[in-house]
Amino acid sequence: MSDSISFSKAELERYSRHLIIPDFNIEGQRKLKAAKVLVVGTGGLGAPLLQYLTAAGVGTIGIVDFDIVDDSNLQRQVLFSIQDVGRPKVEAAKERLASLNPHINIVTYNTQLTSENALDIIKDFDVVADGTDNFPTRYLVNDACVILGKPNVYASIFRFEGQATVFNYQDGPNYRDLFPTPPPPGLVPSCAEGGVIGVLPGILGSLQANEVIKVITGIGETLSGRLFLYDALTFETRTLKVHKNPDTPTITQLIDYEQFCGIGLDKKSAFDGDEITVEELNQMMIRGDKFHLIDVREPYEYDISNLGGQLIPLAEIEEHVNQIESDQPVVIHCRSGKRSGDAIKKLEKYGFQNLRNLKGGILAWADKIDTEMAKY
């Protein structure tokens, strides 16, 4: 198929540094132009991944994401600028990538990848690159790739550490061979909760792009069957062998991955049956209702912005049980609702029946303020 691919004079000049590589040359560039790659997620990993695949000349690049650009993204998601804040990520990404290379086709899916749409979206692509940051989507991407027979170029990051490999390539192992079962909910925090040094996703996303190029062109040895580990603090690397597990179940259909990962199963007990919306909290404030507001974020987060509640970081919540009101509503919040849910779980052991979790956390509150300001 790649033999029928031709290049304009502008493209030949653009890709000249590829063309003079003996093992790559014009045939490697033809394969890139003929290829279709789907990148799932435009976050820390997706940003450099998309930029390098675009610059390399991959003919068709698909982008799946349903998030919008936030100020906190700009520390590592170098695909975006301050002018993009508030815009859908796929929209901002397509605009930036088109300005980088006008010779390629960019297809966007401004939607969440789910069990209902994953097969339909992935089937038209040759390679999938997983840049997601949560376990349900990782298992979903893996299983869809297995069912459709698509290579899955994978990476993940956390704080100062990253890992990368290639799954489901030339009868190699898939994600479930390495991670048969997901960790318990809340055991492994996301980057939003645990943080990540800004340069790390640039390093791992670039490695992903390199693996995608190797899969497409057939040059070199991919990381299939090997897991690359990187520590940015010590600059130490390790490469571990990954084998197919005979006990890995045959994947024939997509499932409910949030349920598989145990997410939401204990929501009722965790939140004592109650979540409070930012609109409800706002009305309580307007009416002057008596309630206790607790912020379980870290002090530096509180200093950036807060709702005026009492600061008790999650790690210290059980040490301050005697300060928490038991005879009036207690509203607990964090950045997004995750840590406040964990705080409620801890406090339930002490018999509290009056705890409510602020749905969406301070991010939802900020969205409400932005919406109200837009009316004027």
Task: Single out the residue of 299, 298, 287, 349 nearest to residue 324, CA to CA.
Answer: 349
pLDDT block averages, 10 residues each, the chain of length 376: 81 95 94 97 95 97 94 91 94 97 97 96 97 93 97 95 96 94 70 80 97 97 97 96 92 90 53 73 87 92 88 91 88 91 87 89 74 42
Active site residue 261: no
The sheet that has 275-276: what strands, in order across it?
A: 275-276, 355-358, 330-333, 292-295, 310-311
Q: Could you tell me if 293 and 333 are in contact, meaning their C-beta atoms sit under 8 angstroms apart?
A: yes
CA distance 80 to 70: 10
Identify the active-site residue in 113, 212, 334, 362: 334
pLDDT at 267: 39
The residues near 236 (Cβ < 8 Å, ≥ 6 apart) are 230
Residues in the chain: 376
The 10s digit of each residue's pLDDT in 24-80 is 999 999 999 999 999 999 999 999 999 999 999 999 999 999 999 998 889 999 999
CA distance 211 to 299: 40
Q: Which domains can be identified in the chain, with CATH numbers?
A: 35-265 (3.40.50.720), 271-368 (3.40.250.10)
pLDDT at 64: 97
Task: Single out the residue of 338, 293, 329 nearest to residue 311, CA to CA.
Answer: 293
* 373 class by beta-carbon count within 10 Å (0-12 exposed, 13-18 middle, 19+ buried): exposed
Active site residue 191: yes
Identify the active-site residue in 38, 61, 92, 191: 191
